[in-house]
Every structure is written in structure tokens, then in C-alpha cells.
Amino acid sequence: MSKKVIYGIYDDDDVILKAVKDIRAKGLNIDEVYSPFPIHGLDHALGLKPTRLAITSFIYGCTGLFLGMLMMWYMMIEDWPMIIGGKPNFTFVENLPAFIPIGFELTVFFAAHLMVLTYLIRCKLYPGSTETSPDPRTTDDMFLMEVEAHGNEAEIIALIKETGAVEVKEEKIA
């Protein structure tokens, strides 16, 4: 049996936010919402799990800090000790204050860049990726809700219309 999806198209972010809440309250699962801009509270209304991007950011930051310190240790202590400002250069700890700015910069550098890359990869936004939105108007002024149907198309269509959709489409997916 082939699956069917129903697209409800809305023209107002407040309306679609309320629609998401109402439809989910009826026990139906909403697969995706496409919007030209972030809608405040939508992820909570959709029941999405909180992002784990912050955790990756922390890990990337720690990596950057460690690599920065490793680099400074290798360059300034191990490989080619240099006397700058009459400072002792035999141990890492005695030179630590001088390395903190570099450690800080690399922490920020790693956290920021790797976090952006992670975000792009997780959202499947890499070179050669294709558009996933079923309707190009969601990049302009329309909001689209995608609900998967399992033989209950009529009920879903009625519900979406009831919540204020300006247009409802039905499509088969293989």
C-alpha cells in the first residue's frame, strides 16, 4: 500500500502555530512544518526534543582549548623555547598566562566553526543537496504543514481545513 501525505498551507504564523497545537491534541502526528522564518514556540508545540547542538558546541570548545594549549606547549616549550620579556620558558605552567588568550581564541574558533558545520550537515545543507520543501511558496509568505495519512485522509483534510488552512493538497509518496 502506498503512503499518502496531506499538505495544509496557511498564510499566518499564529494560525499555523495554533493549528499544530489543535491537531496534535487530537492525537495526530505532524511530520514537518515548513516556514519562511522561525516561529517562536513551534518546536515546543511540535513536541521536538531540545537541540543537542549546545553539547556538541561544548565538546568542540574543549577540543579547541586542548589543541591550542598543545600547540603552544609544542612551539614555545618543547620545540623552540624563546625568552620573551624575560619570562622563564622551561615549564608550561610558568608561561600559562601568555597562552590563555590563544587558548581562548581557539576555543571560540573551534566551537563556532564546527557548530556551524554540524548544523549544516544535520540539516542536510551541503553542496549538491536538493530542496526538500514540497512547495516553493514556503520560502516566501506561506506556511506548510505535512501530515502522513494512514487511510484516514478525509479526517485529516477536514481537520486541517477547520484550523484555518487556505489550501489543502494530497500527494502520494512511493
Rule CB under 8 A: which residues touch other proteins?
Answer: 40-41, 54, 58, 85-87, 97-98, 100-101
Nearer to other proteins, 112 or 149 (CB): 112
Nearer to other proteins, 94 or 155 (CB): 94
Q: Which is nearer to other proteins, 98 or 149 (CB)?
A: 98
49 burial type by CB count under 10 A (0-12 exposed, 13-18 middle, 19+ buried): exposed
As measured in angstroms, the least distance from the Cβ of 88 to other proteins is 12
* Residue-wise DSSP of 9-40: EES-HHHHHHHHHHHHHTTPPEEEEE-SS--T
Q: Taking the CA atoms of the chain, what radius of gyration do you get in angstroms? A: 26
Closest separation in Å from C-beta 174 to other proteins: 41
Burial category of 72 from C-beta neighbours within 10 Å (exposed 0-12, middle 13-18, buried 19 and up) = buried
Q: How far is the CB of 97 from other proteins (least distance, A)?
A: 5
Grid cell of 144 as nine digits? 506548510
Pick between residue 40 and residue 122 the one whose CB is nearest to other proteins.
40
Closest distance between other proteins and the C-beta of residue 86, in Å?
6
